[in-house]
Amino acid sequence: MKLRRDLFSRLSRNHPRLFLTAKRMRMLQGDSADNALALWKTTVLLEADALLQTEPAEFRIVGPRMLETCQQVFWRVATLALAFRVTGLRKYLDRAIGELFAAANFPHWNPDHFLDTAELCSAFAIGYDWLHDSVPDSDRCWMRDALINKGLRPGLELQQKPAWWASVRHNWNTVCNGGLAIGAMALAEDEPQLANEIISTSVAKMRIAQDSFAPDGAWEAGPHYWEYTVWYSALTIDALKTALGTDMGLCARTGLNRAGLFALHCSGPSGKYFNFADSEESPAARPALLWLGKQFKLPNCVAENHRRLQLGGQMHPFDLIWYQGFPKLVPDLPTWAYFRRSEVVFMRTGWSDSDALFVGIKGGSGQSDHAHLDLGSFVFDAAGVRWASDLGPDDYDLPGYWDSSKDGQRWKYYRLNNLSHNTLALNGHSQDPMTTTRILRVESQGSFRYVIVDLGAAYALDTESLLRGVAIVEGCGVLLQDEIVWRRDSEDRLFRWQMMTDAKVVVNGSAATLEKEGRFLYARILSPEGATFSIACPSPGSPENPNIGYRQLVVEKTESGVATRIAVQLSVKPFESSMRPLDSW
């Protein structure tokens, strides 16, 4: 890796130099007329006070990872060290040193699961940098030794091998290389050669993963891993800018400037994500939204993080460090968005109406990072309720969970294959995980807005073609229409249409009524003639998640003809759907 001779030409020799600029410290230490800032500062100090009554995190590995412990150390060190910098109170300093000392004495930082090591590198960088001038040389010495010997040197060795994570296109690259770079910046004057090698290598490798935000800012591993990736993108870039005065080109990677908008579009009026891939459905307050809002002039991102915190999200010390006041002007966002490459579309009837309709639907590939066989799957909100749900991930430590080959064990697990998702199963077969499906057409104007997904490749074992159309009808509901042309050389033509829900469901032939939180949704089969609803139990049995509280609304029928049209209407109030072929939508 070619090193930059001028990399440290603008390095501040003073500490802190990571994140805590003089301007930010003046904001945090002064009396503010900004009520939100005052409240956030009080909240962080209260969290620091609560930590004074706790013991330091203990070395504990679960399965292959100790990520939860390492992230806890990061949060604790940042909270306590920031409380000390703001107040000057010794009690916070002593407790932060205790947390760092315990982690320094871990037998190792679990480099086999390098996310863990990267998190501890970041934690020690913050502790070393923010507390540098307030601790004796002896404390700086053991902090520095732990960071070098348990984090940076093993990390550089793995980068140079290279380890598998060094150049991948997903979050492992950003977190592992980013954590190493942040750690190296804290020690740059002490270990300039080591720091230069790590930073130069890390940034060059990170560009590979940053390019996965292209072209529109989405993340194909879903919103949960979007959160993790933008978090370490923001941390690393901000550390570079505050310590070295440069972002080394990372901000300019295509799509990062729109990444904040993906999280906003992905969240429905119910307050839940379209949690495709291995994602959870509950959005959390994320300080990276503040950073993205400031960096790329996206006031909607700043407003969204304020909103999430007002709803009870946990305050993070970086909410203070990257604080932005609630914007004076929050522009209206489009009521639809198509994120290419990830092949995800979001449509809604409004942003300020909690009862607005919202649909998220996707194409994509089973070979994407953390992918499920969820091609054509959708989620649906209406009347403030999530009616059509995605179950999310299962236990990562299930045998073969990460085997995503064509016949891999991953696709045998219920939550990961198409039997659990709001899509189709044909003749009991799985979707082909080796294919990619695309959004064919999007119409965003008028009262009948729609998206059509070409799912043919995923179902090629049974079909000659398969299209799914989803239309949103203003104020009423959605129409889901599938058009199948079966393989003529096969007489097996059993389709299963399914929708996962945690609502109560009562079926009556071709109609069904769903009830949840005192609200009602009405489902009606428009085609094929004679099809009826049934209810299925989505419990696959141990050791898989039992999916308690969920049920599937199912339409299942064997067809005799070569062409099948399946049309289901979901509505909060009656509306008439015109049965038009998808090519005339």
Beta strand segments in 444-488, E: 448-454, 463-473, 477-486
Hey, is 461 helix, strand or coil?
coil
For 64, phi then psi, to 5°, come to: -90, 0
**What confidence tier does 424 reach under pLDDT thresholds 50, 70, 90?**
very high
Q: Are 570 and 514 in contact (CB under 8 A)?
A: no
Name the residue type at position 324: Q
For 67, phi then psi, to 5°, come to: -60, -40
Q: Provide the CA 301 distance to its chain's centre, in angstroms.
A: 15
- Residue 197 CB coordination number (10 Å): 18
Mean local confidence (pLDDT), 73-101: 98
How many angstroms separate the CA atoms of 243 and 139, rounded? 22
Hey, is 295 helix, strand or coil?
helix
Pairing relationship of beta strands 504-508 and 511-516 according to DSSP bridges = antiparallel
Q: What tokens appear for 21 in the block?
A: 């600029």
**What confidence tier does 463 reach under pLDDT thresholds 50, 70, 90?**
very high
**What confidence tier does 1 reach under pLDDT thresholds 50, 70, 90?**
low
Residue 266 has what pLDDT?
Answer: 97
Q: What tokens appear for 83 in the block?
A: 């409380």
How many angstroms separate the CA atoms of 87 and 95, rounded? 14
- Residue 477 CB coordination number (10 Å): 25
Sign for the CA dihedral angle at 332, 336, 340, 342 comes to positive
How many angstroms separate the CA atoms of 259 and 331, rounded? 17
CATH number of 29-321: 1.50.10.100
Residue 12 has what pLDDT?
Answer: 84
Maximum Cα–Cα distance for the chain, whole Å? 82
Could you read off the pLDDT of 247-256 as tens digits, one per residue?
999 999 999 9
| Burial class of residue 532 in the structure, from the number of CB atoms within 10 Å of its CB (0-12 exposed, 13-18 middle, 19+ buried) | middle
Q: Are 579 and 534 in contact (CB under 8 A)?
A: no
Residue 56 has what pLDDT?
Answer: 98
Is residue 2 scored above 70 in pLDDT?
no
Q: Are 552 and 536 in contact (CB under 8 A)?
A: yes
Q: Are 386 and 378 in contact (CB under 8 A)?
A: no
Measured between alpha carbons, how far is residue 372 from residues 131, 159, 170 in Å?
A: 44, 29, 16
Name the residue type at position 280: E
Is residue 578 scored above 90 in pLDDT?
no
How many angstroms separate the CA atoms of 40 and 83, rounded? 12
Mean local confidence (pLDDT), 245-264: 96
Name the residue type at position 533: F
Residue given tokens 């410290």 in the structure block: 25
Residue 305 has what pLDDT?
Answer: 97
Report which of residues 79 and 312 the model is more confident about: 79
Mean pLDDT for all residues in the chain: 96
Is residue 30 scored above 90 in pLDDT?
no
Q: Are 437 and 365 in contact (CB under 8 A)?
A: yes
The length of the chain is 585
How many angstroms separate the CA atoms of 79 and 95, rounded? 10
Residue percentage of the chain with pLDDT more than 90: 94
In the chain, CATH 2.70.98.70 sits at 336-574
pTM of the predicted model as reported, rounded to 2 decimal places: 0.96
Mean local confidence (pLDDT), 108-115: 98
- Residue 485 CB coordination number (10 Å): 15
Measured between alpha carbons, how far is residue 7 from residues 22, 25, 160, 195, 260 in Å?
A: 22, 25, 20, 10, 29
Q: Return the closest-CA partner of residue 175 out of 149, 148, 153, 155.
A: 155
Beta bridge pairs of residue 495 = 426, 557
Q: Are 469 and 585 in contact (CB under 8 A)?
A: yes
Q: Are 118 and 229 in contact (CB under 8 A)?
A: no
Number of H helices and number of E strands within the chain? 14, 18
Could you read off the pLDDT of 160-181 as tens digits, one per residue?
999 999 999 999 999 999 999 9
Residue 49 has what pLDDT?
Answer: 98
Residue given tokens 């003639």 in the structure block: 529
**What confidence tier does 579 reach under pLDDT thresholds 50, 70, 90?**
confident
In the chain, CATH 1.50.10.100 sits at 29-321
Residue given tokens 């194909």 in the structure block: 220
Is residue 125 scored above 70 in pLDDT?
yes
Residue 304 has what pLDDT?
Answer: 97
How many angstroms separate the CA atoms of 143 and 137, rounded? 10
Residue 25 CB partners (closer than 8 Å, separation 6+): 85
How many angstroms separate the CA atoms of 336 and 420, rounded? 26
| Answer CATH for 336-574 from 1.20.1090.10, 2.70.98.70, 3.10.270.10, 2.40.30.10 | 2.70.98.70
